[in-house]
Amino acid sequence: MPSAPVAVVLRGIAGRMGREVVRALAEDADLHLTSGVERGGHPALGTCIAGVPVTADLRGCLGAGAVVVDFTVPEATREHARIAAESGAPFVSGTTGLSEEGLAALREAARRIPLLHAPNMSLGVALLSRLLREATRALPDYDVEILEMHHRHKVDAPSGTALRWAELIAAARTGLRCVHGRAGHTGERPRDEIGMHALRGGDVVGEHEVIFAGPGERVILAHRAESRAAFAGGVLAAVHFVATHAPGFYGMEDVLT
Ligand code: NAD
């Protein structure tokens, strides 16, 4: 007998990513959008989006087995992960810009529920994260620079993906520190830097590049999100993942087979 589709509660349903996830969910017969959550005072409250009611009350939406998907703002993510943990609802969050305390709150919630948080939901970026570790170890003497570019509306910089990549490069090669941009008489480039450069403008969905520069060559690992569909596809994979896994704190690399 076929199993019932997994219920999905979408936080930030009226936002840019929320709308993209709504489109993607409509293509997946094994997932079923049951409600949308928006911030208090949002004009979409009390209306329907894609046939489901939009409410400000997350707790009221959490039926048995429902998975919460969150694309909102860091302060709200932290609070709603706590509510999901109280209700035993698996949680997928792509919200970026969380502080150390915010991430610690997600880890705390993940003791009770499967919780996947990823600053970039694309499966391509998850794959690149794996390759980056390998490249960092294989090219220990090469200079590392990270470039990212996003649309002019993005409110945090550098991007969550760029920060995550800097972390994993620093974990694979000890003694590196991040330097954000360069200006003035900087002197020669020290060997212990990861150069980080955040570009903003237009409607660029998301571009990331890591350059390993060595004698006579550059190795460039790059990802270009052509549309938000790249993130939404990963969100669906993440929902299927948390719906079938034990409590724990997961990332998109865990979703890759
Ligand atoms: P957006 O501003 O278009 O949408 C955010 C939505 O969240 C809005 O509709 C807003 O009203 C709603 N919201 C705010 N507070 C809320 C609350 N307390 N409860 C419920 N809803 C609330 O932003 P966006 O472009 O959709 O991005 C949202 C987040 O996702 C950002 O942090 C962004 O950086 C991140 N993002 C992540 C990925 C990824 O792959 N992980 C991709 C794109 C964007």
DSSP character string of the chain: -PPPPEEEEEETTTSHHHHHHHHHHTT-TTEEEEEEE--TT-TTTTSEETTEEEES-SGGG--TTPEEEE-S-HHHHHHHHHHHHHHT--EEE------HHHHHHHHHHTTTSEEEE-S---HHHHHHHHHHHHHHHH-TTSEEEEEEEE-TT--SSS-HHHHHHHHHHHHHSTT-EEEE---SS--SPPTTEEEEEEEE-TT--EEEEEEEEETTEEEEEEEEE-STHHHHHHHHHHHHHHHTS-SEEE-HHHH--
Q: Does the annotation mark 240 as catalytic?
A: no
| pLDDT over 90 at 257, yes or no | no
Dist CA 198 CA 162 (whole Å) = 9
62 in Cβ contact with 113 (< 8 Å): no
| pLDDT over 90 at 94, yes or no | yes
∠ Cα 103 13 74 (to 5°): 20
Q: Does the annotation mark 150 as catalytic?
A: yes
Structure tokens at 25: 């969910």
37 in Cβ contact with 12 (< 8 Å): yes
> End-to-end distance of the chain based on CA atoms, in angstroms?
26
9 in Cβ contact with 68 (< 8 Å): yes
Q: How many angstroms does the Cα of residue 216 sit away from the middle of ligand 1?
A: 42
Q: Where is pLDDT greater, at 184 or 2?
A: 184
| Mean pLDDT along residues 140-164 | 95
pLDDT tens for 39-65 read 999 999 999 999 999 999 999 888 778
Dist CA 90 CA 242 (whole Å) = 6
Q: What is the pLDDT of residue 2?
A: 60
Active-site residue, selected from the candidate residues 154, 197, 240, 245: 154
Average pLDDT, the chain: 95
Percentage of residues in the chain having pLDDT higher than 70: 99
Q: How many angstroms does the Cα of residue 50 sit away from the middle of ligand 1?
A: 18
| pLDDT over 90 at 18, yes or no | yes
Pocket flag, ligand 1, residue 198 (CB < 6 Å): no
| pLDDT over 60 at 126, yes or no | yes
Nearest-CA residue for ligand 1 atom 43 is 17
Q: How many angstroms does the Cα of residue 74 sit away from the middle of ligand 1?
A: 9
| pLDDT over 90 at 3, yes or no | no
Q: Phi, psi at residue 185, to the nearest 5°? A: -85, 90
With the most atoms of ligand 1 within 8 angstroms of its CB, the residue from 49, 62, 72 to mutate is: 72
Dist CA 224 CA 202 (whole Å) = 15
Pocket flag, ligand 1, residue 19 (CB < 6 Å): no
Q: What is the pLDDT of residue 192?
A: 96
Q: Taking the mean position of all CA atoms in its chain, how far away is CA 31?
A: 20
Q: What is the pLDDT of residue 65?
A: 84
250 in Cβ contact with 115 (< 8 Å): yes
pLDDT band at 83 (very low <50, low <70, confident <90, very high): very high
| pLDDT over 60 at 195, yes or no | yes
Pocket flag, ligand 1, residue 117 (CB < 6 Å): no
| Mean pLDDT along residues 194-204 | 98
Q: How many angstroms does the Cα of residue 14 sit away from the middle of ligand 1?
A: 9
Which range, of 15-29, 56-70, 71-85, averages the lowest pLDDT?
Answer: 56-70
Q: What is the pLDDT of residue 16?
A: 94
Q: Is the pTM of this model over 0.85?
A: yes
Pocket flag, ligand 1, residue 78 (CB < 6 Å): no
pLDDT tens for 212-251 read 999 999 999 999 999 999 999 999 999 999 999 999 999 9
Q: How many angstroms does the Cα of residue 18 sit away from the middle of ligand 1?
A: 7
| pLDDT over 70 at 1, yes or no | no
Query: What atom of ligand 1 comes closest to residue 19's alpha carbon?
Result: 26
